[in-house]
Structure formats: structure tokens, C-alpha cells
């Protein structure tokens, strides 16, 4: 069943309003990271993939990925909108390819990376442990 024109307009408005930075999941990770090891930089465009948090001296990049937008294999990430299905599958596929390329380039340049998925953020203690682990390991 197709959505009525006004429903499409409101859905379009909703999707347009989705933020690319400073999201609630990112703010949660920043709060935990500040407790563990302050001194990170945000959304550095000069680093491949523009990580959400970057520890420049330690060469550690942290990405906070939304499950839907980055195609995670969880329940939320597996959801595909019914309308314009081919578009969304292609878009999410491109996002995954872009993410993989950025992670590969960072590794090639000597960076260590940590990808945190939106669905994992419910367990703040686990996130804190993962941050402590990557930050405490020598390069």
C-alpha cells in the first residue's frame, strides 16, 4: 500500500531532520569517553571516515554507528522501509562500502579503530570496558 502524498512529505521531513553529528548515541559515548580518557577530538574531517571521536596522539578512532544507517546485522539494522526499498538497500550498501574503506585506510595508516553500534549502547559498562581496553593497549 502506497502512502498518501502528505504522509510522504512528512516522512521526507523526518528523514531530512536526521542529524549527522551530535546525536544522542554519540553524546552517550562522549560522556563515557570523558570519564575514561578525556582529550579526544570530535568529527575530524582530516581523518579517513571522519570518526566521531579521535585520540590523535594515540591514533585511535572511535565510530558510533546507527544500526539502520550503517546496515548492522541486528533487528533494527535489518529493517528496510517498505517504500522505495531499492533506494534504501542501495544507500545502506554504499554506506557499508564507505565504512569498510575508511576502516581499511585507517588501519593502513596505523590507526586503531573501535566501532560502537547503537544497539550496544544499552550496556554502558560494556562500552566503558571496550574504551578502556583500546585506550590501554599499546599501539
The pLDDT of residue 4: 55
Q: Are 72 and 117 in contact (CB under 8 A)?
A: yes
Q: What is the DSSP letter of 55?
A: E
The fold adopted by the segment(s) 21-136 is Endonuclease; Chain A (3.40.960)
Residue 111 has pLDDT above 70, yes or no: yes
* Structure confidence by residue, pLDDT tens digits, 60-94: 999 999 999 999 999 888 888 888 899 999 999 99
Of 62 and 23, the structure prediction assigns the larger pLDDT to 62
Q: Are 89 and 77 in contact (CB under 8 A)?
A: no
What residues does each domain of the chain span? Answer: 21-136
The pLDDT of residue 6: 58
pTM score, whole prediction? 0.84
**87: phi then psi, degrees, rounded to nearest 5:** -60, -50
DSSP string, 77-124: HH---STTHHHHHHHHHHHHHHHHHHHHHHHHTT-EEEEEEGGGGG-H
Amino acid at each position: 500500500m502506497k502512502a498518501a502524498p502528505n504522509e510522504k512529505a512528512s516522512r521526507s521531513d523526518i528523514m531530512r531532520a536526521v542529524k549527522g553529528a551530535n546525536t544522542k548515541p554519540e553524546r552517550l559515548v562522549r560522556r563515557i569517553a570523558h570519564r575514561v580518557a578525556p582529550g579526544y577530538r570530535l568529527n575530524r574531517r582530516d581523518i579517513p571516515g571522519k570518526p566521531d571521536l579521535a585520540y590523535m596522539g594515540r591514533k585511535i578512532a572511535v565510530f558510533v554507528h546507527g544500526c539502520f544507517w550503517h546496515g548492522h546485522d541486528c533487528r533494527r539494522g535489518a529493517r528496510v522501509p517498505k517504500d522505495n526499498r531499492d533506494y534504501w538497500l542501495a544507500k545502506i550498501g554504499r554506506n557499508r562500502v564507505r565504512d569498510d574503506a575508511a576502516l581499511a585506510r585507517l588501519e593502513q595508516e596505523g590507526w586503531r579503530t573501535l566501532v560502537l553500534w547503537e544497539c550496544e549502547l544499552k550496556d554502558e559498562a560494556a562500552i566503558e570496558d571496550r574504551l578502556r581496553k583500546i585506550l590501554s593497549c599499546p599501539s
